[in-house]
Amino acid sequence: IDVNDYNSNSNSNSNSSQPSSQINEPAISEISQSVNTTLVSFNRRDSCRNIVYSQPDSSGTKRIRGGTPIKLVEKLTEPTFTDSEFIRAFLLTYRSFLTPVELLENLLQRYDRPPPITSTSSKTINPTQLRVISVLHKWIELHFYDFVEDTRISNRLLTFIEKASQDANPEIPKTWNIVKETI
């Protein structure tokens, strides 16, 4: 990996005068280590220790090249991050650093602990929760065999859907039904 690929907007705020070629960057193997899903901590600030971006293209867009499993799941479910290529690439490659069970647990934890929203309406669905549902739907749609080959995954998801469908927000059950019908 080119060390310059670690330079992102989150690093530009650094007060370090050290040239980027001298920064002690982690190896991709360190970045992609599996995580203990019982201690997942989302919403940490982006840094060269948890996310790797490409150089901006001519339009100024940076693409994700790698990151810790937790940061990748966070970006995958971030409401403002809508890179469909990233979603497809992630779902094709996640098995190299997470098991399907670990991915499901991370997504469900992300759903259970979304960042707060400012709306006080009980009918407002948290955008992060919607993104989790969307990613789960896309995962089932494109890689259904993960749910067929390991019934623990489909059973765990169905159990979670039943629990989440009891949410006070009347829109939640309707949204989960789309995922449930896909399984």
The total number of residues written for the chain in this structure:
183
Specify whether the CB–CB gap between 152 and 160 falls below 8 A: no
Q: Report the C-alpha gap between 74 and 3 in whole angstroms.
A: 23
The string of pLDDT tens digits covering residues 17-38 is: 433 333 333 333 333 333 344 5
What pTM was estimated for this model as a whole?
0.70
Q: How far is CA 13 from the centre of its chain?
A: 24
* Number of neighbours of residue 174 by Cβ within 10 angstroms: 11
Report pLDDT for 163.
85
Is the pLDDT at 96 greater than 80? The verdict is: yes
Strand residue runs (E) in the chain = 51-53, 64-67
Give the ranges where the chain is alpha helix by DSSP (H).
Answer: 9-12, 28-31, 69-76, 84-93, 100-112, 127-142, 145-149, 151-164, 171-182
Q: Report the C-alpha gap between 40 and 37 in whole angstroms.
A: 5
CA angle 96, 99, 104 (to 5 degrees): 125
Mean pLDDT taken over the chain: 75
Least confident of 12-16, 92-96, 108-112: 12-16
Which of 26, 35, 15, 115 lies closest to 66, judged by CA?
26
Least confident of 17-31, 59-73, 114-128: 17-31
Least confident of 101-105, 134-138, 140-144, 159-163: 159-163
What are the structure tokens assigned to 12, written together? Answer: 């530009």
